Structure 1
């Protein structure tokens, strides 16, 4: 089973994303900020990461840079999720190592399109 770490300071966003990802047969874990997410990744690297842009303690961009520099941190598929409609912010995330991005608010169709990739493509 594929694993996904949802990183968002909003419990509502985490709950909605969890339901959709579990329907896609992901084993899901959650983190409220980038620091908690980084600590979890150092314990066990997930196959995919749903990553919020703005969070307390450590932002999504800071987390992404640390993740990609960490041994094994190149492995997870990272989908950057933001309310920012700033192409510069999206470009920074992609340059830092995000695989894709999506805008908030999202719906089931958008989230499924970003995460429902064949198992072989994730491995």
Structure 2
């Protein structure tokens, strides 16, 4: 089963995302900030990552840059899932190695469509 690392400081967002990715056939793994996510990736690199931007300890963009440097860090499909919706943030995310970008709030249909678009489904 493919794994999906859900990185968000909101427990509620993680819970909602967990239910959605589980229904899509992914094994959900959670992290509350970028540092936790980086630790999780060093132990077991996921196939996909749903990533928030604004988090304590380490932001999503900082995590993404560090994760892409790890062995196998080029493999996960990264979908930013954030309230940051201006072109500068989107461009910065893509340049740092994000594959796609979703605006909050999201629902099952949006995640399913983006996962299909990036070849996860």
Q: Please say whether Structure 1 and Structure 2 have the same fold, judged by a TM-score greater than 0.5.
A: yes
1:33-72 CA distance string (max 9 Å, x none): 0000000000000000000010000000000000111110
Query: 2:39 corresponds to which residue?
Result: 39
Task: Specify whether residues 40 and 58 from structure 1 end up closer, same or farther in structure 2 by C-alpha distance, changes over 3 A only.
Answer: same
Task: Specify whether residues 117 and 88 from structure 1 end up closer, same or farther in structure 2 by C-alpha distance, changes over 3 A only.
Answer: closer
Count of residues in Structure 1 that have an aligned counterpart in Structure 2: 120
Query: 1:65 corresponds to which residue?
Result: 65
In the TM superposition, residue 85 of structure 1 has moved relative to its aligned partner by: 2.2
What SS does structure 2 have at the residue aligned with 1:84? coil
Matched ranges for 1:51-90 at <5 A: 51-90=51-90
Q: Which runs of 4+ in 1 moved over 4 A?
A: none
Matched ranges for 1:81-120 at <5 A: 81-116=81-116
In the TM superposition, residue 81 of structure 1 has moved relative to its aligned partner by: 1.1
State yes or no: 1:8 paired with 2:4: no
In the TM superposition, residue 111 of structure 1 has moved relative to its aligned partner by: 1.0
In the TM superposition, residue 117 of structure 1 has moved relative to its aligned partner by: 6.3
Query: 2:17 corresponds to which residue?
Result: 17
Task: Show structure 2 runs of 5+ residues with no match.
Answer: none
Task: Show structure 1 runs of 5+ residues with no match.
Answer: none
TM-score by structure 2 length? 0.95
Q: Root-mean-square deviation (CA), in Å?
A: 1.3
Structure 1, 1-10 or 107-116: larger mean CA deviation:
107-116
**Contact 1:24 1:116 (8 Å CA) reproduced:** no
Partners of 2:19 and 2:117 lie apart in 1 by 17
